[in-house]
Amino acid sequence: MTALAAIPTHLRPGARLRHYKGGLYDVTGACLIEATLETGILYRACQGDRDVLWMRPMSAFDEMVSTENGDVRRFEPVLWAASP
């Protein structure tokens, strides 16, 4: 059986993240991506449709993104969210 990679504190359930475009997201859990066996992070938007659960490979959360103001992390930790 394949195990999940160690999850950094800022990507554990309950963490709140700000996307570089401004949206807020709550981390809800981790998963194993079947096609690649990478660890994925499950998250949902704090605004809009909170019934939609999103998944992104864990490595993508700390990627640098080029913006007109220079390179920034795709997601920045904000705080620990309260339970919905």
Which pLDDT score is estimated for 50?
Answer: 86
pTM: 0.84
Superfamily of structural domain 11-80: DUF1653-like domain (2.30.30.320)
Number of H helices, E strands in the chain: 1, 7
Of 72, 78, 80, nearest to 21 (Cα)? 72
The domain limits of the chain are 11-80
Where residue 82 falls (left for φ over 0; alpha for ψ -120 to 50; beta otherwise) is beta
| Digit-coded pLDDT (tens) for 31-52 | 999 999 999 999 999 998 888 9
State pLDDT tens for residues 48-80.
Answer: 888 899 999 999 999 999 999 999 999 999 965
